Chains A and B, each alone.
Chain A
């Protein structure tokens, strides 16, 4: 079974600094998707970024980028120029290409210090 591991329960970053959140996953499949979702205190989960496993290029969305290492099964999220509004729980998620169910990690709570 596919599992997703986020080894950092909590992280903190100074405003305007850069922070990297770690995620590893376990799978025997070759075709899959990886996601980072953000869950602020309002509880609505918001998609931050998505990576297709067949793409070698790392996905970027403005201040958010990923470091996708397929062989190492690692998918870290880098947040540059951190802002107070980035404070949230961040979930890494995996979805096998033929299936609809997403597997989530336990989450990393990010605090941004002014």
Chain B
């Protein structure tokens, strides 16, 4: 069964450093998402991406964050200058379509980001 994959599983970085989290969505999916889950808190939506553009983003997704689909398979989340409060589990998800039919989002296993 196809699944979303994410690398690395755990990333440790120093405050102020740039990190790139990588995701490979399910191959026939067209919509891609990032969510985060700070330890002990709810899963929160960050951004959705379709047709090489951001389609929606939350107030969390500020100028420190960017997303990109650099090739036909990868989807990345970049945090330019990490802060302590960016420490969280980051989940990538994908769906065949957006709002409407076949829009169920399938999640990857997550990348745990630790900012020291």
Contact = CB atoms under 8 A, between A and B. Distances in A.
A44 B108 contact: yes
Contacts of B104: 35, 47, 50
A75 interface: no
Contact of B45 (A33, A47, A102): A102
B27 interface: no
Contacts of B64: none
Chain A contact residues, majority secondary structure: loop
B110 interface: yes
B45 A106 contact: no
Contacts of A102: 35, 43, 45, 105
Interface string B28-58: 0001010100000111110010000001101
Interface in A14-72: 33, 35, 37, 42-47, 50
Interface residues of A, number: 24
B43 A44 contact: no
A99 B41 CA distance: 22
Interface residues of B, number: 26
Contact of B42 (A42, A47, A101, A104): A104
Contacts of B24: none
B48 A101 contact: yes
A45 B106 CA distance: 8
Given A44-B107, A101-B58, A106 B99 contact: no
Interface in A67-114: 91, 93, 95, 97-107
Given A47-B104, A50-B104, A42 B109 contact: yes
B69 to A, nearest CB: 16
A107 B98 CA distance: 25
B75 interface: no
A25 to B, nearest CB: 13
B38 to A, nearest CB: 12
Contacts of A104: 42-44
A44 B99 contact: no
Interface of A: 33, 35, 37, 42-47, 50, 91, 93, 95, 97-107
